[in-house]
Structure 1
Amino acid sequence: MGEENGMGKEEMRMGEMEGGRAMEVEMARENFYPLPLYSHEDVVKDRALFMDSMRRFHHSMGTKLSIPVLGGKEIDLHLLYKEVTQRGGLEKVILEKKLREVVMAFSFPPTTTSASFVLRNHYLSLLHHYEQVYFFGAQGPPVPPAASCLTKTPKIKLERHPDASDLTTKKSRRRKREHAEPRSKEPHHFTVTGSIDRKFEYGYFVTVKVGQETLHGVLFHVEQPGEASSSASVLPPANAAAMNGAPTEAKRRKKRRRRSSDPAHPKPSRSAYNFYFAEQYSKLKALYPGRDKEFSKMIGESWSRLDAEEKQVYLDRGVEDKERYRKEMEYWEKQKLQQEVMGEELSTAKNDEPE
């Protein structure tokens, strides 16, 4: 009898688990948060329960859970969740500037830079929605991160009501503008003397003296009414930029074509801002679909609000990518030179063969 009761309880437990999984799948399909499997206190106490609930949560949400690495070691997500939630959640930690306290719990090596910024980013991508369900008890559609979590808290400009002194100052300024002498709209006349230094196909190089000032410039031929329309007589030469030493558009296109025609050509290096832009663009696209045209401005403003420590993460990546490009270019040029030498040797050998 006891055995039958035990089997009945086991079947009920399995049924509940299957029902829970089915509900998770159904909620994920409707883009709703799944129900928590355990209490917040249980996942904080038991690391195994935490990891199990994390994997199943990300599976239900259709997202991928991968353990990030910092300072050569995997980040302990359980410790990160525990340290942040015991301080009231990520938004409160950032507003109260307690992120450094969270970092201190990890004992990262001294060589690890910008740990607080990196941990914040990983928390947003892996633990934010989990925190909403297990710590705050959120239900329904996903809750986007607060603006203070995405960027630094913007400074608030308080509006001040004008007092009597302000009004007096404004009135006096208005009176001054009204009684100010109107500016003369008549053209100024100067005595101009000049000389032609040199003639070229499309005009002249000249030196002009205006008052006490000496100016150097170029005069181009201008088409007069009745003259035949000739682009050669009116426009400056197409290679004027090349004459001044600047690369022409044709040269730039040729260089791009040459680079794209060789599949082995190294990929150009990316700047720090390029890395930041790509990272933020993917996040914004998930949060605000259909607003792509606004992303450039939003990312530019977000970048300008980063402090030196936060920017250093991307600056380091830019330096690493520049070094990668330099090494790959050296190798590519060496390989190309070897191929050219081999081609010349083969050509010489063919020419030396007796007929």
Structure 2
Amino acid sequence: MFSRFFLSLVLAIAMVAPAPAMAERVRDLGEFQGVRANQLTGYGVVVGLAGTGDDNLEYLTQAMKGTAGRLGVQLPAGVSPGLKNAAAVVITADLPAFAKPGQRIDVTISTIGKAKSLRGGALIMAPLYGADGQIYAMAQGNLAVGGLGITARDGSQLTVNVPTVGRIAEGASVERAVSSGFDSGEVLRWNLFEADFLTVQRVRDAINTRFPQSATIEDGVTLALRLPAGADSRATAMASIEMLEITPAETAARVIINSRTGTVVINSAVRLSPAAISHGKLVVKIDEKSQVSQPGPLSRGQTAVTPASQIDVQEKDAKVALFKPGASLSSLVDALNKLGTSPSDLVAILEALKQAGALKAEMVVI
């Protein structure tokens, strides 16, 4: 078990071990502010279900009456239709940057009531709203559901994946465009995905080499870019900036510990100060057995059962690993491998090294 664990750990280390710095494109390190997707939400009704709908829920009845009214069908007052073939749903979608009226986007449909499955259903035309309350798209179409739910008469059920969530590819048409202002603003900002002063400095230098005196640093994440106005000129400049290659700064030393699975990931920036680690195990084994004592013939005695316990204590040889100043990640793993450390012991050792001040890294427990 230990050998398999350390084999996988060594393979993970081989992928993060120190290597010559690689250049990365600016587009992989950050994005332009305002050039992003916007979230849309809506409320609708899915019909055509095979008896797996919401039945007679009040909010579904109200929604169905409104839908029927738009179609010119007026339901009599006081009539509460049984809607086992319909379900009230919430519709979500992302409106991409620069999406124009008439273009199609994907939508996801999720039940909000007690509907058992959306399989085979069709969404009736429903508006999708943005955060400002305006309608930006209209959704309608047949659902594709990857899940399956079956209920037998005796109450037994079989569920595969999630049958209460479906998707309609290109199920909504864009009705309103969102202005990003990228072509008219005096200053266009570019943001790093992760704050790093050295990386943002290198991006600024690369941009100023291509477009002199156009980029300035606002903080550890943001660059302010003064580019030519106009959609054509600015888009050309943005395309050139995104394809610039720079060498990002080395990531901070970090150890990630997953407390639920025992997974430990150590990046290549981790270094150790002089330290010694001693690791030993005390194994206590208790074996419980029962002995049966039979009475002699014609003795009128009774059969007796007596416990027989055997306790065995073993202590494995403790070994000590010594780290020299500036020891690297590979040195740490080699030493822990020789000590025969299990995943749980590895976490304890790393925490002890951190407390002793020998582990120069941030420990993150997830």
Same fold? TM cut 0.5:
no
If the TM-score is normalised by the length of the shorter chain, which range does it land in? under 0.3
Higher relative contact order (CA 8 A, sep 6+): 2
TM-score scaled by length of structure 2: 0.16
Which of the pair has more CA radius of gyration?
1
- Structure holding more helix per residue: 1
TM-score scaled by length of structure 1: 0.17
